[in-house]
Structure 1
Amino acid sequence: SEKRPKHCKTQYSLTRAQRVRAAMFPETLVEGEAAMAVQSPPSQPSNVQRLAEPSQLLKTAIVHLINYQDDAELATRAVPELTKLLADDDPVVVNKAAMIVNQLTRKEASRRVLVQSSSMVAAVVRAMTTAVDMETARCAASVLHSLSHQREGLNAIFKSGGIPALVRMLSSPVESVLFYAITTLHNLLLHQEGAKMAVRLADGLQRMVPLLKKSNPKFLAITTDCLQLLSYGNQESKLIILANGGPEGLVFIMRNYNYEKLLWTTSRVLKVLSVCPSNKPAIVESGGMQSLGQHLTGSSQRLIQNCLWTLRNLSDAATKQEGLDGLLQILVTQLGSDDVNMLTCATGILSNLTCNNSRNKTLVTQFGGVESLIHAVLRAGEKEDVAEPAVCALRHLTSRHQDAELAQNAVRLHYGVPAVVKLLGQPHYWPVVKATVGLIRNLALCPANQAPLREAGAIPRLVNLLLKAHQDTQRHASSAQQTYQVPDGVRMEEIVEGCTGALHILARDPINRGEIASMQTIPLFVQLLYSYVENVKRVSAGVLCELALDKQSAELIDAEGASAPLMELLHSNNEGIATYAAAVLFRISEDKSSDYRKRVSVELTHSLFKHDPAAWEMVSISIHLWLSRLSAYTINMFHLFRHNL
């Protein structure tokens, strides 16, 4: 009770300056003194209390400034001596000097002083290279690692020959040295001009690729990022990675790790390598398609995007790969995405994987791929990067596999016919047009699709395209130019062949046949019999074969002078061409004189037995009777008969 009044008395006897000092700088109180108790409520602090915290911050800043200055002065005085000690012949001296320098780099002020001394940085590099003990190498590598976080430090390391030295450290058995070396090199590759070339010249890639066998995910993430920085845009680097087993190591990481950053950096390297013709098959053979596919359902969008682009690049080399069932199902699901990049990749991959692979075609059809692809086409609009691969995939699904007819029907049932035909309209992006023409041909193979295709306006669009493409080929053929620009990589001869082939299948329907003939197409088809492209001859003979079933069209074909080229085509080595030519000749000779029919009979007989004169003599009498029963409907029998002979 006596102490309390005394204490209060002491408080009140303090001057105002002393009370302010006690509140703002309590550490300055003399031992035995007590800070004045707070008398105002917490919600309404006094002015002195408001100033207390900023005052403490100011004091701390001043202390730091004093210490910073002290650190800088200390380092400035120590650098010359430490530089000499790092070059000493005694390994123990070098070790102690390296340890001191390493300590100095932990403070910003002294680190800045060290960076400004090129002789010091060079001495550290030399000490790291010549170190006979691992501790010296570790300290020196740690110093360079610390310096590499500043632009001046990166430049100093680069100019001091630090890159070759750091590359050599990548063979160190000490994990910490490895970490410092790869991290410092990573910083150099990111921010120092000329570092990439220096690392390549120092055989950095040859040292980095084997590091993919390490197990630390964070270390691997830095290593793979270095590989990406070195290989991007540099074909030689890609080949070095391949020669050192890079694809296998990268695929192994994608298959066995779940650290997102590592998976992302690894997928970036694979994306770069996937455009290299040499690396592509190596990645596929290492199981790259399956390993990348397993990350398409994760939560990391950046990883999914990289995996999709890489898969798209690889997919044309993976058409014979097995075990892609799961990937195909995921891709069909992703066709429902609103992301254009995802849609572009998914359609592109499906287009490639269904090319000449009947199993994949069947699987995608069974997974509902036809409907999803049609919806993708509808959403694509004028986005050619989506429309072209989507239509190509549909073209593949509607041909040559056990469920092809199911796919042909599915396009119609999911209202895809009008959308497909619409793609033939202006403006023409020729890769899309080429794919669409092929798809229409496949759809026409299904009798139930013939009327919907006609109603959607497929025939006039195909005829107009055919005329345009043929005019282009004629113009280029007659011009003096030796070469001409191929629009979007598609030759007009391909469009001529595709349109004629589609019209050939459409002409199997009597109504379609009449519409095709009514558009004055017969003169053009006859002209195409003279084409230098064998496939164009085949499809033009094929469409004439169908049109000739109508007597009026047969007369028009004859009036256009088709007999001469057809007689010539009878002797073609191409079975299809000769067979179609024979059928057309028979149809147009039905109303001719007996002499003309006899001449045709002789030509046909010679064509059939040109390789077997004895057989020709044996059947020359009966062949005319056989030919009199020949019609366009028995064309396949004729083909088999001729082939078997």
Structure 2
Amino acid sequence: MRDFNLYQETCQLAIRDVGGLEVLINLLDTEEIKCKIGSLKILKEVSQNAQIRRTIADLGGLQIMVKILDSVDKDLKCLAAETIANVARFKRAQRTVRQHGGIKKLVGLLDCRTMGSSHATPLQGKDIEVARCGALALWSCSKSARNKEAIRKAGGIPLLAQLLKSPHSNMLIPVVGTLQECASEPSYRIAIKNEKMIENLVKNLNSDNVELQMHCASAIFKCAEDQETRDLVRQHGGLKPLATMLANSDKKELLAAVTGAIWKCAISEENVTKFREYKAIEALVGLLTDQPEEVLVNVVGALGECCQEPANRTIIRKCGGIPSLVALLTGTNQALLVNVTKAVGACAVEPENMQ
């Protein structure tokens, strides 16, 4: 079966239509490790398809995969966790994983220290892979508020903090992805600060990997509501890479995360001074046109905060920012209008701007 192109939708649906999924899921219940591995290698590929994810869940496949997470075979654990990561992209599947004790087992996979020997030997590649696959599955599961709570209760936060020090971007993406998903909860934002994760989030803003940069910026966006976190971002040198990334105006998802992080960091006046040094104000004014609303809300929010400094109010005028701000007053997006009226009000403190 693996000779077929399992990434092709026609092959994926053909396997489903001839009853292949039932057979593959039954194989997961055997005692034979090779059967399970072969079956999971196929399920992992075909579960990229949304219809197939639902069928696997309907057939009780998730419950069996959660059991397999207890296996001693590391390849098997990895495949089960990666397949769970694919299947658990919708609410019901996320709930099933939690109700069958899957969150606790997946958090267990993050703990590289318990694997291998008790001596402080360097981690084996396999253990790192097990932790990576565990993080991938938690990332999918963490879209549910109850699962966020379950990950926290299972002791996931310190383990994610540990993995955040990893040098490998393929490990960091699911780890930071999970953290930024969970950072919508206040308990996680406090933990991210207390576990000293801000430093590593800032460090990875300088990564070559755009997806990793985006998740780091997004986590900072959510955490920087807090004064202490904003100071930490500055102290660890995070403001300069954020300002530099404003030049990536073609990468919309990255831009939305970066402008969001700048907006929240700019609530602190010391940070605004830095942003002026790094020429962020000019770059933000340049983003006031031809951007999606999600980006505009953040850009205008950031400019409103930067207007705390009189010098920046002048910069906005000299860059031609006032007409662009005024033009946005005709929109219908409420979040955007709130930010635009604030920014216009803040600019209008200067008589020349008011005109």
Please classify the TM superposition score into its range, dividing by the shorter chain length.
0.7 to 0.9
Residues in 1 aligned to 2:86 and 2:251: alpha-carbon distance in whole angstroms: 28
Tell me the CA shift for residue 243 of structure 1: 1.8
Q: Which structure 2 residues correspond to residues 186-225 of structure 1 after superposition, within 5 A?
A: 189-190=1-2, 203=19, 205-206=21-22, 209=25, 216=31, 219=32, 222-223=35-36, 225=38
Matched, 1:445 2:251: no
Question: Could you tell me which residue of structure 2 aligns to residue 314 of structure 1?
Answer: 141
Q: Which structure 2 residues correspond to residues 66-215 of structure 1 after superposition, within 5 A?
A: 189-190=1-2, 203=19, 205-206=21-22, 209=25
Q: TM-score, normalised by structure 2?
A: 0.82
* RMSD after superposition: 3.1
Matched, 1:407 2:229: yes
Residues in 2 aligned to 1:308 and 1:523: alpha-carbon distance in whole angstroms: 46
Q: Which amino acid aligns with 2:199?
A: E
Q: Which amino acid aligns with 2:345?
A: C
Question: Could you tell me which residue of structure 1 aligns to residue 284 of structure 2?
Answer: 462
Q: Is the CA contact 1:230–1:237 (under 8 Å) kept in the aligned structure 2?
A: no
Matched, 1:397 2:212: no
Tell me the CA shift for residue 533 of structure 1: 2.9
Instruction: Spell out, residue by residue over 1:488-531, the C-alpha distance to the aligned partner (whole angstroms, 9 max, x if none).
Output: xxx52333332111101111233323332333322322222222
Residues in 2 aligned to 1:525 and 1:365: alpha-carbon distance in whole angstroms: 34
Higher Cα Rg, which structure: 1
Question: Could you tell me which residue of structure 2 aligns to residue 606 of structure 1?
Answer: none
Matched, 1:364 2:178: no
Question: Could you tell me which residue of structure 2 aligns to residue 87 of structure 1?
Answer: none
Matched, 1:226 2:53: no
Residues in 2 aligned to 1:337 and 1:193: alpha-carbon distance in whole angstroms: 33
Residues in 2 aligned to 1:377 and 1:553: alpha-carbon distance in whole angstroms: 35
Matched, 1:339 2:168: yes
Among 385, 389, 393, the residue aligned to 2:211? 385
Cα distance change of structure 1 residues 268 and 321 upon mapping to structure 2, 3 Å threshold:
closer
Instruction: Spell out, residue by residue over 1:578-621, the C-alpha distance to the aligned partner (whole angstroms, 9 max, x if none).
Output: xxxxxxxxxxxxxxxxxxxxxxxxxxxxxxxxxxxxxxxxxxxx
Q: Is the CA contact 2:180–2:216 (under 8 Å) kept in the aligned structure 1?
A: yes
Cα distance change of structure 1 residues 530 and 198 upon mapping to structure 2, 3 Å threshold:
closer
Q: Which amino acid aligns with 1:264?
A: C
Q: Is the CA contact 2:141–2:147 (under 8 Å) kept in the aligned structure 1?
A: no
Tell me the CA shift for residue 438 of structure 1: 1.0
Residues in 1 aligned to 2:149 and 2:248: alpha-carbon distance in whole angstroms: 40
Among 310, 330, 335, the residue aligned to 2:159? 330
Residues in 1 aligned to 2:269 and 2:300: alpha-carbon distance in whole angstroms: 18
Residues in 1 aligned to 2:5 and 2:211: alpha-carbon distance in whole angstroms: 36
Q: Which structure 2 residues correspond to residues 517-596 of structure 1 after superposition, within 5 A?
A: 517-554=317-354, 556=355
Residues in 2 aligned to 1:428 and 1:193: alpha-carbon distance in whole angstroms: 33
Gap runs ≥5 in structure 2: 116-123
Q: Which amino acid aligns with 1:311?
A: L
Cα distance change of structure 1 residues 284 and 451 upon mapping to structure 2, 3 Å threshold:
same
Q: Is the CA contact 1:528–1:537 (under 8 Å) kept in the aligned structure 2?
A: yes
Cα distance change of structure 1 residues 281 and 220 upon mapping to structure 2, 3 Å threshold:
farther
Residues in 2 aligned to 1:419 and 1:392: alpha-carbon distance in whole angstroms: 14
Task: Tell me the secondary structure at the aligned position of residue 337 of structure 1.
Answer: coil
Cα distance change of structure 1 residues 319 and 516 upon mapping to structure 2, 3 Å threshold:
farther
Q: Which amino acid aligns with 1:314?
A: C
Among 234, 245, 255, the residue aligned to 1:433? 255
Cα distance change of structure 1 residues 524 and 260 upon mapping to structure 2, 3 Å threshold:
closer
Q: Is the CA contact 2:66–2:100 (under 8 Å) kept in the aligned structure 1?
A: yes
Residues in 2 aligned to 1:541 and 1:220: alpha-carbon distance in whole angstroms: 63
Tell me the CA shift for residue 416 of structure 1: 1.2
Cα distance change of structure 1 residues 409 and 421 upon mapping to structure 2, 3 Å threshold:
same
Cα distance change of structure 1 residues 286 and 524 upon mapping to structure 2, 3 Å threshold:
same
Range with greater deviation from structure 2 (497-506 or 535-544): 535-544
Tell me the CA shift for residue 456 of structure 1: 1.7
Residues in 2 aligned to 1:460 and 1:226: alpha-carbon distance in whole angstroms: 55
Among 180, 185, 202, the residue aligned to 1:374? 202
Q: Is the CA contact 1:292–1:311 (under 8 Å) kept in the aligned structure 2?
A: yes
Q: Is the CA contact 1:231–1:237 (under 8 Å) kept in the aligned structure 2?
A: no
Q: Is the CA contact 1:293–1:327 (under 8 Å) kept in the aligned structure 2?
A: yes
Q: Is the CA contact 2:132–2:171 (under 8 Å) kept in the aligned structure 1?
A: yes
Q: TM-score, normalised by structure 1?
A: 0.47
Residues in 1 aligned to 2:94 and 2:15: alpha-carbon distance in whole angstroms: 24
Residues in 1 aligned to 2:265 and 2:178: alpha-carbon distance in whole angstroms: 22
Question: Could you tell me which residue of structure 1 aligns to residue 308 of structure 2?
Answer: 508
Instruction: Spell out, residue by residue over 1:185-237, the C-alpha distance to the aligned partner (whole angstroms, 9 max, x if none).
Output: xxxx45699999898567464466467566x4xx2552353254256326555
Cα distance change of structure 1 residues 463 and 295 upon mapping to structure 2, 3 Å threshold:
same
Residues in 2 aligned to 1:506 and 1:440: alpha-carbon distance in whole angstroms: 10
Aligned residues: 334
Cα distance change of structure 1 residues 193 and 410 upon mapping to structure 2, 3 Å threshold:
closer
Q: Is the CA contact 2:142–2:148 (under 8 Å) kept in the aligned structure 1?
A: no
Residues in 1 aligned to 2:263 and 2:12: alpha-carbon distance in whole angstroms: 52
Instruction: Spell out, residue by residue over 1:122-163, the C-alpha distance to the aligned partner (whole angstroms, 9 max, x if none).
Output: xxxxxxxxxxxxxxxxxxxxxxxxxxxxxxxxxxxxxxxxxx
Residues in 2 aligned to 1:436 and 1:463: alpha-carbon distance in whole angstroms: 15
Q: Is the CA contact 1:264–1:306 (under 8 Å) kept in the aligned structure 2?
A: yes
Instruction: Spell out, residue by residue over 1:323-378, the C-alpha distance to the aligned partner (whole angstroms, 9 max, x if none).
Output: 42432222222222222211222222211121x21111111111111101011112
Instruction: Spell out, residue by residue over 1:276-299, the C-alpha distance to the aligned partner (whole angstroms, 9 max, x if none).
Output: 665344324434333222112144
Q: Which amino acid aligns with 1:410?
A: L
**Identity fraction in percent:** 20
Q: Which amino acid aligns with 1:304?
A: A
Q: Is the CA contact 1:221–1:266 (under 8 Å) kept in the aligned structure 2?
A: no
